Amino acid sequence: MDLLTPELGLFVWTLIAFLAVFFILRKFAWKPILNSLSERETGIAESIAAAERVKKEMGQMKAENEALMVTAREERTAMLKEAKEMKDRIVNEAKEQAKADANKIIADANQQIHQQKMAALTDVKNEIGKLSVEVAEKILRKNLSTTEDHGQYVNMLAEEIKLN
């Protein structure tokens, strides 16, 4: 039990040593420790404030970014719509141009066919006329083998001409 109860002399000397260390530390170390704690507290407070400012700025930047994204989506949608309308317009113009070209080609072909048909009819008429003249000539030569037949035929033609 002696170990549990200290003697009065030991107690006094321990108290004097403690008070001496306490006053020395208070005089020389207490203020620097408090100053460093105060500086640390101030630094932590400033860091927290800076973190709050950064957090607010990040919130603002996020809001601005979302607004930019919405604007970009709207612009993209508008550009896609405009591109689709332009594509449709170009396709329709190309179709109309193709139809106009096809109609012109068909009209030109019909005109050429008509011209060739008329030329062919003219050639056929000329050929028929030539053949008719040749056939008539051959028939007349055969029928009008005498001079007397020639005279009668000429008189008949003269009378027909007078009647017409």
Residue 90 maps to a domain: yes
Identify the pLDDT of residue 143.
65
Paired tokens of 44 = 């932590």
Q: Provide the 8-state DSSP code for 61.
A: H
Identify the pLDDT of residue 102.
94
Residue 152 maps to a domain: yes
Identify the pLDDT of residue 44.
96
Residue 158 maps to a domain: yes
Identify the pLDDT of residue 66.
95
For every one of its 164 residues, what pLDDT tens digit does the chain have, with 9 covering 90 and above? 566 677 888 889 999 999 999 999 888 888 888 899 999 999 999 999 999 999 999 999 999 999 999 999 999 999 999 999 999 999 999 999 999 999 999 999 999 999 999 999 998 888 887 877 777 776 666 666 666 766 777 777 777 766 65
Identify the pLDDT of residue 129.
77
Residue 6 maps to a domain: no
**Number of domains forming the structure of the chain:** 1
- Cα(27)–Cα(125) distance, integer angstroms: 143
pTM over 0.85: no
Q: What amino acid occupies position 137?
A: E
Domain boundaries, position 141? 11-163
Residue 3 maps to a domain: no
Residue 20 maps to a domain: yes
∠ CA(10), CA(13), CA(14), 5° rounding?
A: 80
CB 150 within 8 A of CB 144: yes
- How many Cα atoms are found within 13 Å in the side-chain-facing hemisphere of 33? 6
Residue 94 maps to a domain: yes
Residue 104 maps to a domain: yes
Identify the pLDDT of residue 156.
76
Residue 143 CB contacts under 8 Å (≥ 6 apart), including other chains: 149
How many Cβ atoms sit within 10 Å of the Cβ of residue 150?
A: 13
Identify the pLDDT of residue 144.
62
